[in-house]
Structure 1
């Protein structure tokens, strides 16, 4: 009787397991981090910052030497450290991210190194979470807690193993299979490759889908994502299982700040926060190089932090999220985060904005002279669907309509 019961339990377990979808990474990116790379990064940043200070003191981009322009091109203004995963400026995290990261266990600190769960979500390749039980940590987990209003997730990115060096990665064990739970309910199993790099898994939007009323959205309860170790790749030296980072990308993050002037079809303007569905706005018809009108069909509002302000030679400035597309002379559409812009219709393969670019405006062009990264939270707004056209005019500049892909 006991044997029959055990067999029955095994069969039930297998049936339940088979009903959970298994997912393979949709894309991967190998990492080659090391001491020399950090030295090169610091050298390039220092040289570029000297040039940026020179421009802040009044030197125009066209007056820079070729060497100075080359130095400027090697600077990533969004990165403060060689080990940054996301960098500063705006990303999906402008609108939120987890409020807490915890774990079932973690390895005790060794010297200056700690292995706490927060390391698995600190945007730093150098730090790592290591489970703290004997053996290979099967059943141990990381738990991410989100507030109800957090932007929805449509991509999970895993940086597997101790990636700060090739030796650390090889010596420590890595995860082979991660079981994902949403609010403690099984959702999927992530099949991880044994690579020193990041692995992306595209998912259907996770989070609260009803986002029409911001005041109601803020009252929604917290929700969680749990990542449980099911299987591992064994390390050469240690059975400790390491995860450098699990982070996210997603929806509901775009926009301009309150007070941005939107050109209407009748050539008047309206603050972006006052726009309504049905308003007629101006947009540029690039085929005929004329200004036409389109009806607003959908707008968005969300609270962001980490916004960016673009400043121009004419004195014009505009504050936006880093993935918002702008029309650039000789470049077409561009943003500071082209990869993030790819979630919007028509902006799958756009260029990156650089200081010195000429932004298209309703009445000509304007040269970008500086980029500032802002602290604090602000309410932001955008147009996400028009009756025609893929752009509108904000503070005189041609900007893209961020309509999410179906």
Structure 2
């Protein structure tokens, strides 16, 4: 008598649990890759390489011919490959890494083409993960492992199907629904569109919010995010279900707030969100203790919610993330979170930024009179790299660029099966 009741109870419980799982709908970014597009990209890149070499040898942008300036508009220095996902500039990956990408199965290599799990996170639209079981692969999954000290995730982007060509996309199966798990606990159902496109899913911050204990977080076991195939859009020729790429964006990577004024080479000021590649800013040589002109080579504008506002004795202030480096009047780097600054960026010696510290200004040293925190999520901006040196002036005080340590650049592509 108890068995039917228990069975019915389990069914009801299962339904209730299923109802608690949110359903997410994406925004779409259409993709249109082709051999013709690749050839045109490579031609334009080769032309621009010659122009960039002229500029490295002292020719300024204003002295280029009208055609050369037009040619430079066709490509971006931070998007160096036709098949590249994202750019070479700073992003969520500036402070993040993926410990491992694994899968329940994958299709055997055919000729020189592999379908291993790491293809789903190699930042290359041309490669793909293909599940390796008979049928459409319902129940198969990809799993990502993340270090606890990673910045939090607020966007998950899924490149659905075999997008390297229209033919490959149509012939192979695509995902219709994915079930997403955090540490094996169901989190959401992701409804993917049947388009040759990237599906962008916005999520509440996922990850460890305890940003003040970075070193302790690094000692904890990795956490996981799993994507299980629930339904598919059948391919016209093959049952194999394909995902070309899954990548992430988020918060907790350091920058400046919108409206921060950057001192240009001619001593005028420009809001940081209006800067462009090729702009010339005022920089500072720590060895010669002289100001100089530097050209912007990379920019970035991630979203953050871990900002501080630093108030100075002259009534001005600057808002930046907790680990952005500022130069003291004695020539030493300071940040509110020096351990994180040293861990992620090219600064080996960083002291604690505190009230009372003197920082180096454009014309004079300034004393910090207050530091307040701001957890409001907002877009931020920064200079990642200059053609010379690693300093610029933000709201009149000397700060550092965002260039990554060499090992962090490598970690972006360091993924195991």
Note whether the superposition's TM-score is higher than 0.5.
yes
Q: Would the aligned equivalents of 2:152 and 2:206 in 1 still touch at CA under 8 Å?
A: yes
User: Residue by residue, what CA displacement relative to the aligned partner does 1:4-27 show, whole Å, maximum 9, x if unpaired?
Assistant: 7665544433332222111111x2
* Partner of residue 295 from structure 1, selected from 362, 370, 373: 370
Matched, 1:36 2:66: no
SS where residue 272 of structure 1 aligns?
strand
Matched, 1:310 2:417: no
1:292 to partner: Cα distance: 12
Aligned to 1:135: 135
Between the aligned partners of 2:241 and 2:64, the Cα distance in structure 1 is 50
What is the Cα-based RMSD across aligned positions, in Å? 3.5
1:154 to partner: Cα distance: 0.8
Aligned to 1:376: 406
Q: TM-score, normalised by structure 1?
A: 0.69
1:102 to partner: Cα distance: 0.2
**Structure 1 unaligned blocks of 5 or more:** 285-290, 301-306, 320-358, 364-370, 379-406
Between the aligned partners of 1:197 and 1:31, the Cα distance in structure 2 is 5
Q: 1:230/1:293 Cα in 2 relative to 1: closer, same or farther (>3 Å)? A: same
Q: 1:191/1:276 Cα in 2 relative to 1: closer, same or farther (>3 Å)? A: same
SS where residue 76 of structure 1 aligns?
coil
Q: Where do 1:2-401 residues align within 5 Å?
A: 9-25=10-26, 27-255=27-255, 265=313, 270=328, 271-273=333-335, 274=351, 276=353, 278=355, 295-298=370-373, 308-311=384-387, 317-318=390-391, 362=396, 376-377=406-407
Between the aligned partners of 1:150 and 1:156, the Cα distance in structure 2 is 15
Deviates most, 108-117 or 68-77: 68-77
**Structure 2 unaligned blocks of 5 or more:** 257-284, 290-309, 317-325, 336-350, 376-382, 409-417
Q: Would the aligned equivalents of 2:158 and 2:199 in 1 still touch at CA under 8 Å?
A: yes
1:299 to partner: Cα distance: 9.2
User: Residue by residue, what CA displacement relative to the aligned partner does 1:329-348 show, whole Å, maximum 9, x if unpaired?
Assistant: xxxxxxxxxxxxxxxxxxxx
Q: 1:67/1:292 Cα in 2 relative to 1: closer, same or farther (>3 Å)? A: farther
1:75 to partner: Cα distance: 2.3
SS where residue 47 of structure 2 aligns?
helix
Q: Would the aligned equivalents of 2:311 and 2:370 in 1 still touch at CA under 8 Å?
A: no
User: Residue by residue, what CA displacement relative to the aligned partner does 1:269-321 show, whole Å, maximum 9, x if unpaired?
Assistant: 62333453545899x9xxxxxx9987321399xxxxxx93213xxx76438xx
Q: Would the aligned equivalents of 1:153 and 1:248 in 2 still touch at CA under 8 Å?
A: yes
Between the aligned partners of 1:3 and 1:263, the Cα distance in structure 2 is 69
Between the aligned partners of 2:65 and 2:403, the Cα distance in structure 1 is 26
SS where residue 14 of structure 1 aligns?
helix
Q: 1:29/1:46 Cα in 2 relative to 1: closer, same or farther (>3 Å)? A: same
